[in-house]
């Protein structure tokens, strides 16, 4: 199975800050990487797909990047609505796998 | 408009079988490339992909659940099903279904989830 090592597990940032969440794939997954935002009691919401593509309706403050097997989600100009848990996900091959999640708190 | 909604047994006893239904609209599982996945999330924990079924009846399973999973579909009624046999407390989780618009694409639309509790 492809392991997705996500870091940090939690973070706290201030309004207006820029934060980066990382995911390291245990083997090559190309650009088959997506990012989800999950609010308490809600289902995950697709934010980024294909490692760098912004899903329709997602603010341009969100961006995804890739360097080899390292993938990053960057959020600029943090707002209160960005609070939640962020999950990375590889869909390169079965079994599909997820990172362990990053809990983002806005101070 | 794409929507998915999960339903199923809310409370089970260990060793029973769990049956889940995903009812969807806005797409068809007979459309080339489309797949529907099942994912679960224990309270306070991460997401675990369980299985998916595609337009051509192709199926994928998470080997960590060995032979306990069975996925199927009813294309005419826009439903997908998941059965998990011999449940135990570790199967307590919120179960989601989600769509993949093409087999090489990611999960774009998710249902609201259904909570399943396994308890004696």
Per residue in A53-72, pLDDT (tens digit) is 999 999 999 999 999 999 99
Confidence band (pLDDT; 50, 70, 90) for B1?
very high
Which residues of A are less than 8 Å from B49 in CB distance?
95-98
pLDDT for the residue numbered B9: 85
> Considering only CA atoms, which of A25, A51, A96 is closest in space to residue B36?
A96
Taking the C-alpha atoms of residue A100 and residue A7, their distance in angstroms, rounded to an integer, is 8
B110 touches A: beta carbon within 8 Å: yes
Check residue A63 and give its pLDDT: 98
Tokens representing residue A11 in the block: 């973070």
Torsion of CA B6, B34, B63, A4, to 10 degrees: -90
Q: List, for residues B32-86, the tens digit of each pLDDT value.
A: 999 999 999 999 999 999 999 999 999 999 999 979 999 999 999 999 999 999 9
- 3-state SS assignment for residue A45: strand
Q: Where are the beta strands (DSSP E) in A1-107?
A: 4-7, 10-13, 19-25, 33-38, 45-49, 53-54, 62-67, 70-75, 84-90, 97-98, 102-106
Specify the pLDDT at position A24. 98
Quote the CA–CA distance of B117 and B113 in Å, as a whole number: 13
Q: Is B48 on the interface with A (CB under 8 A)?
A: yes
Q: How far apart are CA B3 and CA B16, in angstroms?
A: 29
Tokens of A2: 């492809």
Interface test with A, best of B47, B68, B96 (most A CBs within 10 A): B47
Q: Averaged over A82-92, what is the pLDDT?
A: 98
Please give, rounded to a whole number of angstroms, the shortest distance from the CA of B119 to a CA of chain A: 21
pLDDT tens sequence across A70-83: 999 999 999 999 99
Q: Is the dihedral of CA B56, B34, B39, A41 positive or negative?
A: negative
Q: For chain A, say whether B22 makes contact (Cβ under 8 Å).
A: no
Residue among A44, A95, A99 minimizing CB distance to B62? A95
Split at pLDDT 50, 70, 90, the class of B103 is confident
Q: What is the per-residue pLDDT across A3-54, written as a single tens digit (0 to 9) for each?
A: 999 999 999 999 999 999 999 999 999 999 999 999 999 999 999 999 999 9
pLDDT, position B102 = 86
Q: What is the pLDDT of residue A22?
A: 98
| CB within 8 Å: A43 and B62 | no
The confidence band for B113, taking pLDDT boundaries of 50, 70 and 90, is very high
**Chain B residues with CB-CB distance to A94 below 8 A:** 60-61
- The owner of tokens 């989800």 is A36
User: B33 CA to chain A: closest CA distance, Å?
Assistant: 14
CA-nearest residue of chain B to A30? B104
- The whole-number pLDDT of residue B50 equals 98
Per-residue pLDDT at A18 = 98
């Amino acid at each position: 199975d492809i392991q997705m090592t996500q870091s940090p597990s939690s973070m706290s940032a201030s309004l207006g800050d820029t934060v980066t969440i990382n995911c390291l794939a245990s083997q090559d997954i190309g650009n088959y990487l997506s990012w989800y935002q999950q609010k308490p009691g809600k289902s995950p919401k697709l934010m980024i797909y294909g490692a760098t593509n912004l899903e329709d309706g997602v603010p341009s403050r969100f961006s995804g990047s890739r360097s080899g097997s390292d993938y990053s989600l960057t959020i600029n100009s943090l707002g209160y609505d960005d609070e939640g848990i962020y999950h990375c996900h590889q869909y390169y091959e079965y079994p599909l796998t997820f990172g362990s999640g990053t809990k983002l708190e806005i101070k | 408009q794409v929507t998915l909604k999960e339903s199923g047994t809310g409370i089970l006893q260990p060793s029973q079988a769990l049956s889940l239904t995903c009812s969807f609209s806005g797409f068809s599982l007979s459309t080339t490339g489309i797949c529907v996945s099942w994912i679960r999330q224990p309270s306070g924990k991460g997401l675990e992909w369980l299985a998916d079924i595609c337009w051509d009846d192709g199926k994928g399973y998470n080997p960590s659940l060995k032979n306990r999973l069975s996925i199927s579909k009813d294309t005419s009624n826009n439903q997908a099903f998941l059965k998990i046999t011999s449940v135990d407390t570790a199967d307590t989780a919120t179960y989601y279904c989600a769509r993949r618009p093409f087999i090489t694409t990611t999960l774009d639309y998710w249902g609201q989830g259904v909570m399943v509790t396994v308890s004696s």
